[in-house]
Structure 1
Amino acid sequence: MSVELVVTALLAGAAASTSNTTTAAVDAYAALTTEIRRVLRRREEDFVVDAEVAEDVHVPEQRADLTATLTATGAGDDPEVLIRARDLLVVLGYRSMLEIAD
């Protein structure tokens, strides 16, 4: 479930970044992507996580690819990534998603 939380946060953050969003949301999304890049670099992955990841958050293949990559790199088990994912979801108002994950 942890990797799903991270994926949900990434996709929600990417979707929010394409609209008028608060500075707090932009900052929280940037913090999450920074932590994910750290994990990916540690694992020597070339995958780049950014707003382009979620051009269309409704494309199941895109979510599946992102989930597989993050699972393979252990991003769903990294405490800092999880903290940043939760922070972003709180800023975006996804508190119900956090209750399900806990």
Structure 2
Amino acid sequence: MAETTLAKITRKGQMTIPQQLREAMKIKAGDYVSLRPLLGGVFVSKASVKAEVTAEEVLRHLVISIGKQAEAQGITEDKDLDAIVERIQEQVYQEHYGR
């Protein structure tokens, strides 16, 4: 599931996570999700019993997700993935520190 999905925010600040994403993330009614600011956006993950998610857990989920998306796009060589990661790091650096 590498597609971007839009969700509309209600007047109360609520949004609905689309069914396809809920199923992929194994989120059901009554579950909690963790929201963490990340690079100008929000990283959403299913919350464990503890509400606090460590940076290591966030990174682990990102690495797994990136690997799956890369594989789906036919990127199988580590050097190709490394080049993409370096390009993204440079873009993020430029956005934050603009030189």
TM-score (norm 2): 0.29
Q: Relative to total residues, which structure has the larger helix share, 1 or 2?
A: 1
Max Rg structure: 2
TM-score (norm 1): 0.28
